[in-house]
Amino acid sequence: MDFASSSADFAYENELDLSSLMTPSTFIPFQEPNPSIPTIHCAGAENDGRQRIRETTTTDEIITNEDVEPKNKKAKRREIERHRRQEVTSLFGNLRYILPSQYIKGKRSSSDHVQEAVNYIKDLEKKIKEISLKRDRIKRSLSHSSSTGECSIRSLESSYCSCDGDTHINVKLIVCTSVGTDHVDLPECNRRGIAVTNAGGAYSEDVADYAVGLLISFLRRIPAADRYVRSGKWVRCGEFQLGIKLSGKRVGILGLGSIGSLIPYQYYPDVVSLAANSDVIILCCALNDQTRHIVNREVMEALGKKGVIINVGRGGLIDEKEMVKCLVDGVIGGAGLDVFEKEPGVPEELFGLDNVVLSPHAAMATPGSLNNIAQLTLANLKAFFSNQPLISPVRLD
């Protein structure tokens, strides 16, 4: 599609509809009228704000080609330009998240401006293609090395490998952008002398805020109140049900790391006694062999019918199947869940419950947290390559 071929100006309006992506169709080509056709119907031609409609019914009323041809060309050109404006507007609206803001905001009207955007997209496509080719090459190399036993690192980029035995690896540092390291084999890293870092306190404040937000959302039934208004029940049924007071609640925290330590606490020796002396349990500890399903049915029964579970740690900390049963049967009062055992899968039974607040693992999702982790990652890499102590090392023993 050649945008530059048009000599007409295009009007780009502010605040375009950017709801979906689409591929614009090819512009309608201009076609010369056929002079061999004796009978001509001309409708919708404009002249000084008036419309004239001519329709031939007899040979006496036939309009000559010479009379109609200029008007016919003018009408067709207007129609072509109308289609072009519509399609360019749609294209730019749908490419809002690809093009820089100068191509979208404000009113621009030259076809040169369109060509600049097209060139930008072509460059972007070229870069994407290069990345895809590199990815495919790496996949082929890994597939080949796994079948032949050859070191994948050596086959890709290096002639030297420092690994022992038949298993080859050339990794000296693993930088995790998450707080949890349950996806890393820490004992094996320790055996091989591989250093590991995690997010440390990069997310702590935002995740702690989110835990409190989930608790308040459940107790005051904020999501349920939102649905109540949107569904029209407020108009039909009147006042919404009462919420639960937060002040005075006993909150137990399972996990006193960088997140849990930001909330005041009193120590209990085991999870069951913590639940028995709490109205709310907030889970923010690491997931490992010792903490998997640490909140089981016994803990939930100790928490009681009015008890609330808030999980901003890992889904595997809770026995999810038992939690669903306890929520449905009223063994516990409710839950605020930002994490699940098999993400992004969520037990369907939870969707119909009003005593649950669900969130898509978004507790740390703020610009501040993402900036923190970017800075921390760079600092760890800089320290590693400078033979300095790592900023947020993970204990491997």
CA-only gyration radius of the chain, Å:
33
CA atoms in the 13 A half-sphere facing the CB of 157: 6
Measured CA to CA, the distance from residue 98 to residue 92 in angstroms comes to 9
188 catalytic residue (yes or no): no
Secondary element (H or E) of residue 173: strand 173-175
CB atoms < 10 A from the CB of 311, how many? 26
Measured CA to CA, the distance from residue 311 to residue 313 in angstroms comes to 6
DSSP state of 172: -
Contacts of 177 (CB under 8 A, 6+ apart): 199, 373, 377
41 catalytic residue (yes or no): no
CB atoms < 10 A from the CB of 243, how many? 14
Question: Which residues in 202-221 are b (16+ Cβ under 10 Å) and which e?
Answer: bbbbbbbebbbbbbebbbeb
Catalytic, out of 108, 113, 221, 314: 314
144 catalytic residue (yes or no): no
Sequential DSSP letters for 110-150: -HHHHHHHHHHHHHHHHHHHHHHHHHHHHHHHHHHHHHHT-
Q: Are 47 and 74 in contact (CB under 8 A)?
A: no
Contacts of 306 (CB under 8 A, 6+ apart): 279, 333
Measured CA to CA, the distance from residue 326 to residue 42 in angstroms comes to 75
- CA 82 from centre of chain: 36
Positions marked catalytic: 314, 343, 361
